[in-house]
Amino acid sequence: MKKLSSQTIRWISLGAILLTVAALLFARQQTRRKNQPPQSGRFEDYYTSTIDALHVHSQKVRDKLRANMPGDLEILPEELLRRPKTTDPENPGVATINDITLRGIYWSDTMPLAEINDRLCKPGDQIAGFTLQEIQPYQILLLDATGSTQTVSLIRDL
């Protein structure tokens, strides 16, 4: 058997050390990436695209239902299925809680989002004259122009 020279052994040792250091750096980078909140926009883009896909899918289902229904039955347009939008009759132009339609909450410890009036919102966003103060797993807290907090829930009697 041929004996390796000391220089060859040094190069092999150096290569092994470099591979070990590279593996440790890669593992450290992966751990950091897992612990970091999603980059701004990536999380929201994912949910926006999911919501858009759901809207397209629900429209396709409506079209199929409409094609298979007898002539005397009709599917109500989506606008009529939503809660009617109103304003305070004493203060026209001032938003009321009825101007808010909460359609979903996308819960995350790092960046919760709420779908309000067909728009993804995060805490601090302005919507229909309110400021989204907090998103909880099943409800949102809104701050109105007078500074009082209003609650809108996904579940009745919450």
Within 10 angstroms of residue 132's Cβ, the number of other Cβ atoms is 21
- pLDDT of 6-52, one tens digit each? 888 888 888 889 889 888 888 888 887 766 655 555 667 777 777 77
Nearest to 98 by CA among 122, 121, 128: 128
Q: Which tokens in the block code for residue 76?
A: 């109500």
Specify the pLDDT at position 133.
95
Phi and psi based region of residue 93 (left: phi greater than 0; alpha: psi -120 to 50; beta: remaining): left
For range 51-78, the mean pLDDT: 68
CA dist 46 and 42 (Å) reads: 6
Whole-prediction pTM: 0.44
Of the listed ranges 20-24, 72-76, 141-145, the one predicted with least confidence: 72-76
More confident residue, 69 or 49: 49
Q: What percent of the chain has pLDDT over 90?
A: 14
For range 68-88, the mean pLDDT: 53
